[in-house]
Chain A
Amino acid sequence: MKFFFHVGQYFTLLKKVFGRPEKLRLYVRQLFHEIDTLGVNSVWIVIIISIFIGGIMTIQFAYSMSNPIYPTTLVGLGTRDTLILEFSSTMLALIMAGKIGSNITSEIGTMRVTEQIDSLEIMGVNSASYLILPKIVAVVFIFPFLFIISVFFGLLGGLVTGPIAGVISIPDYIEGIQWLFYPYYITFSLIKSVVFGFLVASVPAYFGYYVKGGSLEVGKASTTAVVNTNILILFFDLILTRLLLT
């Protein structure tokens, strides 16, 4: 019952979010601000995580395929495809739900409990649209870039770590990451990024917008928002994989 209530209220909110903006210029200003705070500030963490994960995966693939019947190129291929298909799209979205999502819930939730949202409404501003639309657009815009950055640095992580650990040579690795490459995997994951970006911005925004109470409730709402966003990401990952890949 509660589930259907939330779904209904979520779509009601989205309808408000995509209503006509009051002044486009102010929205654009807000959009650049959000791209900066939500997107650009996430680049470093994405790079660091991706380098480590790429490196770790390369070592693990090399160990599990140390039997000489496997071609050494499988290590590069395994790292590449795991990055593209799951890590840099899905796992990264889960991590970003924790960072960006909780940030969005607490920001909007705080504005709700301190009556800043009421204040916008009194002025006649469509608060849902003004606060949430720029965030959704910003995150949907930035996610594909984060995906590409993550794949690139993940592969780089493997390239650096593999040879240092002595599990694979540079030429083998480079040959591997080019072996049996399907460009469609990239398209598939870019589609996923866009969907996940939408979830990571809109679901936490929803939980923040309808918060009731004080700062304690805002904290709780952040946690609820992140958990629900994660479940939805995995659910949509399943559906999209089924629809687009098999």
Chain B
Amino acid sequence: MIEVKNIYKSFDGANVLKDISNRFEQGKTNLIIGRSGSGKTVLLKSILGLYDIDQGEIWYDNREFVKMHHKERKKLRREIGMVFQGGALFDSLSVEANIRFPLDMFTHQSPVEKKKRVEFCLEHVNIEKSAFKLFPSEISGGMQKRVAIARAIALNPKYLFCDEPNSGLDPETATIIDQLIQHLTREFEMTTIINTHDMNSVIEIGESVLFIAKGEVAWTGSNKEILETRNKKLNDFIFANKLYAQLREEKN
């Protein structure tokens, strides 16, 4: 479980996050949704400590992150996996070496154990053995995302963060990635937070949804409730896509 309480964050006087509070549950895919520029990435990176927040509390289960010392933060980070928007694979390393990197850095496993773990992770995201030796530039965008997910789970994290994991992918591949993340979240009992502006993802895996608009919490709920809502801002966001407007009309 991750809980944020009254988070504020500004850049050079511009308030990007205003009084954000929310609970992200364990074993669930928690979505942060909103328009481009609404502050999703800043919120995610603030929770991760890549940005220092101006005010507020961030709880990783019973540990408060803001007050932590550098060393404690580093220790906590071993429990965190992150999938970046562009994948952020190390392009000087092969697929296999990308997964091995965190293992080399932070474990004392033998080469055999590491090899097993690398295979385990890559198999879990359906990467075939023939692709293990390829470099990130040699594989498709969808595969890069899957490798990024495999790397994120390499150290068996308790918390998984994904920033627009299916941006730039075709709808079919995007759905596969979404389902993969949900599947892994359940299997490994992780607390997963996903940024997205994709309504398909919301319907597909939005077990818990936090909607932010201009840096403020505008709505919270689940994908079961979202199509029924009368929230003006949320409706504008959702029904920008005609298909969902139609869907609601049919329902009513």
Footprint of B on A, CB under 8 Å?
22-23, 26, 110-111, 114-116, 118-119, 121-125
Which segment, of B85-93, B179-187, B204-212, B236-244, faces chain A? B85-93
The count of residues in chain B whose C-beta lies closer than 8 Å to any C-beta of chain A is 22
Interface of A is mostly: helix
What residue of chain A has the Cβ atom nearest to residue B101's Cβ? Answer: A123
Closest Cβ of chain A: how far from B116's Cβ, in Å? 20
Footprint of A on B, CB under 8 Å?
45, 48, 50, 73-75, 77-78, 80, 82, 84-86, 88-91, 101-102, 104-106
Closest Cβ of chain A: how far from B160's Cβ, in Å? 11
Closest Cβ of chain A: how far from B2's Cβ, in Å? 15
> Which of A110, A115, A116, A124 is in CB contact (< 8 Å) with B77?
A124
How many Å lie between the Cα of A34 and that of B89 in the bound state? 20
A114 touches B74 (CB 8 A): no
Closest Cβ of chain B: how far from A201's Cβ, in Å? 17
B86 touches A114 (CB 8 A): yes
Complex contacts, A23 vs chain B, CB 8 Å: 104-105
A116 touches B88 (CB 8 A): yes
How many Å lie between the Cα of A23 and that of B73 in the bound state? 18
A118 touches B77 (CB 8 A): no
What residue of chain A has the Cβ atom nearest to residue B90's Cβ? Answer: A116
How many Å lie between the Cα of A165 and that of B91 in the bound state? 50
A26 touches B91 (CB 8 A): no
> Which of B45, B89, B104, B106 is in CB contact (< 8 Å) with A124?
B106
How many Å lie between the Cα of A46 and that of B27 in the bound state? 59
How many Å lie between the Cα of A110 and that of B106 in the bound state? 25
Complex contacts, B75 vs chain A, CB 8 Å: 124
A118 touches B104 (CB 8 A): no
With A114-B86, A115-B86 already in contact, 11 other A-B pairs whose C-beta atoms are closer than 8 Å: A110-B91, A114-B88, A115-B88, A116-B90, A118-B82, A119-B82, A122-B50, A123-B78, A123-B101, A124-B73, A124-B75
